[in-house]
Chains A and B, each alone.
Chain A
């Protein structure tokens, strides 16, 4: 009777995993070696030959320690949520912010479309027209990382989600702390600004997301049509 646990331990050394998890890995691999050895015996190999052949598989484990540790750790260097949600979302936010900054700096300036009582609602039309591209970028990056539809939606709408949080939490808190009389007495401006910076951009970003969804649905349908 061979001690397969010892064989595995000798080849894997320490995995730096929690003891229970490490024990499970070692037991599982020892069981594999045992099955392999018995399979070699059934094929007609002698005990020594079967043991030798099984040992050869075990020595291959020396190169896999890192891969096993990485796979067994709860989170990799970059987890799935980071790849499918946070990074694509950040890309959308950066694209939307940088394009707005560049347009304001070098090109088209705010046209004031509605002005009353010292307040103004501004619409950056060229920037709004760029937003479908930004939304598409986030959704595409999310889908490329095999993100689910909800992840690509959130990634595509990320700038609007951030702005919505700003309008719903930060600005009301700021208004109350500073006792901003203008906003307190002109809630319509606040609501219009909310629509201007959150709802309209969200609709345009969503347009880009939908385009990516439709394109990926087309691509998925192509091979099945071809076959």
Chain B
């Protein structure tokens, strides 16, 4: 799946991926892209063009908050952390996606394929 696909599904899944990741720890843009690529075995990949507009959109909605901090190498990076609003938004988003995959699985049986 490519996060650049202009569809609500791709957009929604990308949103969920970012929020779920930031729920674990604050990360900066490059780390977010790297973690998602590594942890999905390269199935989900974010380019800068897909990642930053989404991060800024989430920040505008108050789901994440960015702040400049030094990373382990002493360089300034903008770390994003999940806000209380973001945490509240993550729970229903997870439920929606669970229901969506459950429904799709019931219909297509892809988990048995």
Contacts and interface: CB of A to CB of B under 8 A. Distances in A.
A26 to B, nearest CB: 11
Given A63-B49, A226-B102, A227-B98, A28 B60 contact: no
Nearest to A221: B95
Interface string B47-66: 11100110011011100000
B30, B34, B49, B75 pick with most chain A CB within 10 angstroms: B49
Interface in A81-133: none
Interface string B85-101: 00001001001101100
B84 to A, nearest CB: 12
Determine the interface band of chain B, counting residues with CB < 8 A from chain A.
20 to 34
Nearest to A24: B78
A32 B78 CA distance: 10
Main secondary structure of the interface of B (DSSP, over half): helix
Contacts of A58: 48
B56 A31 contact: no
B56 A32 contact: no
Given A28-B78, A61-B48, A35 B30 contact: yes
Main secondary structure of the interface of A (DSSP, over half): helix
A74 B96 CA distance: 28
A31 B102 contact: no
A74 B62 CA distance: 11
Contact of A226 (B47, B49, B99): B99
A165 B34 CA distance: 54
Interface residues of A, number: 31
Nearest to A75: B60
A28 B29 contact: yes
B48 A32 contact: yes
Contacts of A60: 47-49
Contacts of B49: 57, 60-61, 63-64
B35 interface: no
A134 B49 CA distance: 43
B52 A223 contact: no
Interface in A2-31: 24-25, 27-29, 31
B60 A71 contact: yes
A227 B60 contact: no
Contacts of B30: 31-32, 35-36, 39
A71 B33 CA distance: 19
B99 A223 contact: yes
A168 interface: no
Ordered nearest first, which 6 A-B pairs have the shortest CB separation?
Answer: A71-B56, A60-B49, A67-B53, A223-B99, A35-B30, A71-B57
16 contacts: A25-B52, A28-B29, A31-B29, A31-B76, A31-B78, A32-B33, A33-B48, A35-B30, A36-B30, A39-B30, A57-B49, A61-B49, A67-B53, A74-B60, A223-B98, A226-B98
